[in-house]
Amino acid sequence: MAVAQEWPPLTIPRSIFTSQIGMLDTEREDYARQLAGYAATLLVVSNGSDASRLQTRKILALALQLAPRCKEAIVLNFQLANRILPEATPTLAEADILAKLLFSRGKLLQQQDGEENQRLARIFIQLAAEMDPRNVDVVYASEVNRLDHGPVDWNALMSPSN
């Protein structure tokens, strides 16, 4: 199945997150795989709507930032750039499960020092709120972050100036 709209490929030459981030490389890779699988499923289930394309782009950019050589993220980016609708993947198909995982990890990152940890914490928590807007604890944490620090700059993830 082909994607009707053009998809400018995401180009992430290197991650904005360095080895100073409070995550192991294997953990970053695992999150990237889960996010890429979720992004592909979201796009397929929504028939490539404009809203899902924007959300997919944000999620895929995050996956590539976490692990720039993540196979699933690179393949999805290639498929979309070539107007190929990917297969829905059975990774964490339930948005609320992945949202809880992102929220928990975001809260742990908030407890660590460093600007990168704080930035990724806010990204994880906001994304979790977008994925599961009925979870009042996640939404509250996301909104408090937004009020205290401003909105997440998704453009910095999608178009890094490296």
| Tokens describing residue 3 | 């994607």
Q: What is the pLDDT of residue 161?
A: 55
The alpha carbon dihedral of 5, 30, 87, 102 has a sign of negative
Domain borders along the chain are 24-92, 94-150
Question: Over 50: is that where the pLDDT of 162 sits?
Answer: no
- The span from the CA of 58 to the CA of 95, in Å, is 15
Backbone angles phi, psi at 8, to 5 degrees: -65, 125
Q: Identify the residue whose tokens are 């795989």.
A: 33
For 80-94, the pLDDT digits (tens) are: 999 888 877 655 457
- The span from the CA of 91 to the CA of 89, in Å, is 6
Question: Over 60: is that where the pLDDT of 52 sits?
Answer: yes
- Single-letter code of the amino acid located at 118: Q
For 101-119, the pLDDT digits (tens) are: 999 999 999 999 999 999 9
